[in-house]
Amino acid sequence: MDLEVLRSFRAVAEGMTVTEAAAEAGLTQPALSRALRRLEEEVGAELLQRVGRVLRPTPAGRVFKEYADAALDSWDRGRRAVAEVVDPEAGVVSLAFLHTLGTWLVPKLVTGFREAHPHVRFELRQHEENGLVQHLLDATADLVITSGDPGHPLITWRRLLVEPLWLAVPTGHRLAGRGRVRLAEVAGEPFILLKPGYGLRSVTETLCREAGFAPLVGFEGEEVHTLRGLVAAGLGVSLIPSSPDTAATPDFPIRYLEITDVRGARDIGLARLAGRTLPPVARSFGEHALRATAGPAAGRD
């Protein structure tokens, strides 16, 4: 059984199209389709079925994927361990992080580290808070960058920085002409939120509670970019990690307002599994992340 076919199966089972998975694997679409059919023959069951224009895992496919995930993760860990023994400077850092940190913090940290360690590779995973914790518990990530201390007895966490949160309102909103507001001033207005399980959702609910109200859920999304789009469309307000001097554009006519009645910020930190000895290259990256985010210069541009 070809491990790369297993990777392609996993990618398709997680929502990638066969065409996209083939391109990622360096294959043609027909070649990957044939490989997936051979995989089904080896397993002895249909693993993927067409639903509309995309493939979705069958019940047998969902069961098989759990074992494929375990096999691939075990293989990757073994390969990394050997690589680090042979050459610690050419190892792999397995890093998981919040979706919202993939546009600014993670690229900066990875780029800075690779300037000193150009042969190190990264396995990057994006997830919501609960998924990040599970990556550590399953040992599928060496380190995770998350908002706030997970509060898990098996996980240690260190703060990297404090990220400001701003109240995003449409440019036509009654408060848009102001620079600073109390969060309580939008009590009763619809909030555009990330779905439950995301760190920003929990932070928003906590800050609203501290301001004396529970947010009225207008819409829920899975990406901050979606939140911004819905705010720009005038469908509600949102707490968004963004620079306050971000200019409104025709696509995103938004004003970002400073919050004065509650702490409009969230802690961003680095977590690892307590008691687990990190690979040398992962330990070096963790130390780099702490150094790179120390002091006022570590904030957002």
Residues for the chain: how many in total? 301
pLDDT of the residue at 297: 41
Q: Is the overall model pTM greater than 0.85, yes or no?
A: no
* Residues 211 and 239 sit within 8 Å (Cβ to Cβ): no
Domain presence at residue 75: no
Domain presence at residue 180: yes
Domain presence at residue 43: yes
Domain presence at residue 130: yes
Verify that 244 and 120 share a domain, yes or no. Answer: no
Q: Check which CATH number belongs to the domain holding 136 and give it.
A: 3.40.190.10
Q: Check which CATH number belongs to the domain holding 54 and give it.
A: 1.10.10.10
Verify that 95 and 142 share a domain, yes or no. Answer: yes
pLDDT of the residue at 52: 78
Q: Which two structure tokens, joined as six digits, stand for 95?
A: 């890093």
Domain presence at residue 60: yes
pLDDT in tens, 97-127: 988 888 889 999 999 999 999 989 898 988 8
Verify that 134 and 272 share a domain, yes or no. Answer: yes
pLDDT of the residue at 85: 62
Domain presence at residue 292: yes
The whole domain housing 102 covers: 87-160+267-298
pLDDT in tens, 221-265: 888 888 989 999 999 999 998 655 555 566 678 999 999 999 999
Mean pLDDT for back-to-back runs of 10 residues, the chain (301 residues):
86 89 89 91 91 86 92 85 70 87 90 92 84 85 90 93 93 94 96 89 94 95 88 94 61 88 93 88 93 66 38
How many structural domains is the chain composed of? 3
On the CB side of 145, CA atoms within 13 Å amount to 29
CA pair distance 248, 191, nearest whole angstrom = 19
Q: Would strands 254-259 and 48-51 be described as parallel, antiparallel, or unpaired?
A: unpaired
